[in-house]
Structure 1
Amino acid sequence: MPTRRRGEIREEAILLAAMSLLGEVGYDRLTIEAVAERAHASKATIYRRWPGKAELVGTAVRRHAGTPVAAPPETTNLRDDLVAVLLELRAGLTGQDSALILGLLVAMRRDPDLAHAVRRHVLDHKRDVFAAVLARAAARGEVPETVDHALLAEIGSAALLSRLLVTGEPLDDHFLHTLVDAVLLPMLSRQLDRP
């Protein structure tokens, strides 16, 4: 196995320090100085890689806040593909610190740079996964190519976050299947029925 370059090791230490501090003090109180001290790095090293705190946190969140969601292996129908995506999203969410997620969401409302970075690093990626699933469904003739994957991703992600952060109700398989059958597929059907 090839050894990692010194720069990669330094970057990883910085990102882990940022995630650790984010969980401890929250985004508002996190400083580049504290990250540098925790990572045993200089502020100049951090600023050479990231222009500011928002980009640093965005990269750290993308790399270390749960596993990235990938488009699941193709099934034979859209329903099974959607369930598979939601299973991936659930696995990523339940592996994360709820307080960290909530803190990021609150900070994103106050800091446009952070909001932009997190959207670019995390949310856009989730939209891309839904887009891939819908593109496969379009290739099979199940939906037209014009269906709104962004809305589908937003509704699916919001329902999971609501269960995790607000209601505390189970994020079990039954809920995921119900979300697909009662919300996502009917929403797609309504898009198909529009003139």
Structure 2
Amino acid sequence: MEAGPKLDPERESAILGATLELLAETGYEALRLDAVASRAKASKATLYRHWPGKADLVVAAIKCFKQEDLAQGVDTGSLRGDLMATLRGVRELMSGPTGQIMSGLLVAVQKDQELAEAVRTSMLEDKQGVTQRMLDRAVARGELPADTDVSIFPEVAPAMLFMRIFVYGDSVDDAYLDHLTDDILIPLMARRFGG
């Protein structure tokens, strides 16, 4: 996506941080690149040279904020442990400031085709890769069949957490994560493929 020479990491961090701050303050629709440039003490030309549009900048900012990715380094030695650790990460993400940003983006992607495309091609593909690595480890340990559908976790878990946090306003404690893991996710993965 980047067209110009690579940005200095400190400069890039300032721009992406300013993007997140303004996104939280104004929402996606009201976010303006000149405001991001002003807050980050950068030129609009610098922004456009590295991010062709607002959608690309927002996606880059969100990905950078949680670069430690939810399951990237998680390997607890069991599928259940990996699921619980990942769910705790999703819970923290959705319960914090980024969760508010993400809920706002869900509305924005319905109205903005450019943003919807950037989110689908970048962020969702990343999540599929994280899930695939977690399932590959479970298959290698003999906990799941090789043909387990990689889409079960990203389709079911975030949707349930989103509904509980943002729609019902309920807390997501470890007991709920135990229920989601033991009573829904693992049985669904096993049942779907005859386990």
Task: Report if TM-score (shorter chain) is over 0.5.
Answer: yes
Following superposition, the deviation at residue 6 of structure 1 comes to 7.3
Are residues 6 and 157 of structure 1, via their aligned partners in 2, closer, same or farther at CA, if it must alter by over 3 Å? closer
Are residues 111 and 65 of structure 1, via their aligned partners in 2, closer, same or farther at CA, if it must alter by over 3 Å? farther
In the alignment, which residue of structure 1 is the partner of 2:114?
A: 113
In the alignment, which residue of structure 2 is the partner of 1:60?
A: 61
Distance in 2 separating the partners of 1:111 and 1:132 = 31
Cα deviations by residue, 1:83-135 (Å, 9 ceiling, x for unpaired): 22212222232233443222111001111221232334433333222211211
Are residues 178 and 131 of structure 1, via their aligned partners in 2, closer, same or farther at CA, if it must alter by over 3 Å? same
**Is the Cα contact below 8 Å between 2:127 and 2:154 reproduced in 1?**
yes
Q: Any residues of structure 2 matched to 1:1-195 within 5 Å, and which?
A: 7-64=8-65, 68-71=69-72, 72-75=74-77, 77-193=78-194
**Is the Cα contact below 8 Å between 2:94 and 2:100 reproduced in 1?**
no
State the AA in 1 paired with 2:75.
P
Q: Under a length normalisation based on structure 1, what TM-score does the superposition of the two structures give?
A: 0.86
State the AA in 2 paired with 1:40.
K
Cα deviations by residue, 1:41-72 (Å, 9 ceiling, x for unpaired): 11111011001000000001111268521341
Aligned to 1:24, the other structure's residue is in SS state: helix
**Is the Cα contact below 8 Å between 2:153 and 2:185 reproduced in 1?**
yes
Distance in 2 separating the partners of 1:151 and 1:143 = 13
State the AA in 2 paired with 1:177.
D
**Structure 2 gaps, min length 5:** 1-5
Are residues 10 and 80 of structure 1, via their aligned partners in 2, closer, same or farther at CA, if it must alter by over 3 Å? closer
Q: Percent identity?
A: 41
Distance in 2 separating the partners of 1:6 and 1:156 = 36
**Is the Cα contact below 8 Å between 2:24 and 2:97 reproduced in 1?**
no
Following superposition, the deviation at residue 40 of structure 1 comes to 1.7
Distance in 2 separating the partners of 1:124 and 1:13 = 26
Root-mean-square deviation (CA, aligned residues, Å) is: 2.2
Distance in 1 separating the partners of 2:28 and 2:171 = 28
Are residues 6 and 104 of structure 1, via their aligned partners in 2, closer, same or farther at CA, if it must alter by over 3 Å? closer
How many residue pairs get aligned? The number is 189
Are residues 29 and 65 of structure 1, via their aligned partners in 2, closer, same or farther at CA, if it must alter by over 3 Å? farther
Are residues 142 and 68 of structure 1, via their aligned partners in 2, closer, same or farther at CA, if it must alter by over 3 Å? closer
**Is the Cα contact below 8 Å between 1:67 and 1:92 reproduced in 2?**
no
Q: Under a length normalisation based on structure 2, what TM-score does the superposition of the two structures give?
A: 0.86
Distance in 2 separating the partners of 1:101 and 1:155 = 17
State the AA in 1 paired with 2:132.
A
**Is the Cα contact below 8 Å between 1:66 and 1:95 reproduced in 2?**
no
| Greater helix share, structure number | 1
